[in-house]
Amino acid sequence: MDFVPGAGDPVTDRLQHVAAAVMVALLVLAAVNAVLIAWATAVDALRPTALARALGASPRQVASGLSAAQLLPALAAAVAGIPAGLLVYRLAQAVSGGEGGAWTAPPLPWLIAVVPCTLAAVAVLTGVPVRAAARRPVAEVLRSE
């Protein structure tokens, strides 16, 4: 059904643009979320990490451990997000009246690459706040509580 005779449906014509905008917004929100959760985890674990450093762990080892703790939830999110994202896009296309047979899934190597790329992004994003927290002086942290 055309809104204007001879013109296409503006909803289905703009679905790709809307999906791209939503994807970018979700990626930005996920990046901010990863940084804030890593920072909150590092602040929450100040005392245990200070004790680990007092017993001989280096700031790099502490930061690596805290950053690695963020990777398991990121792995689960990446694995669950692939089929969920494809389903949401397919549903949006169906609701907007898009052609059912015109939809094609992204290539399989791209879908598989989402998981390691997500883990790499989370490791990079969580590295900064975790290293900043791991560099606090041990004596100051242990004296504070």
pLDDT at position 140 over 80: yes
Encoded tokens for 107:
């290539």
pLDDT at position 98 over 70: no
pLDDT digit string (tens) for 27-85?
899 889 988 988 888 888 888 888 888 898 888 898 888 888 889 999 999 999 999 98
- Inter-CA distances, 96 with 11, 26, 62, 76, Å: 6, 21, 49, 30
State pTM to two decimals: 0.73
d(CA 12, CA 99): 9
Task: Evaluate whether 42 touches 66 at the Cβ level (below 8 Å).
Answer: yes
Reported as a pLDDT band with limits 50, 70 and 90, residue 1 is: low
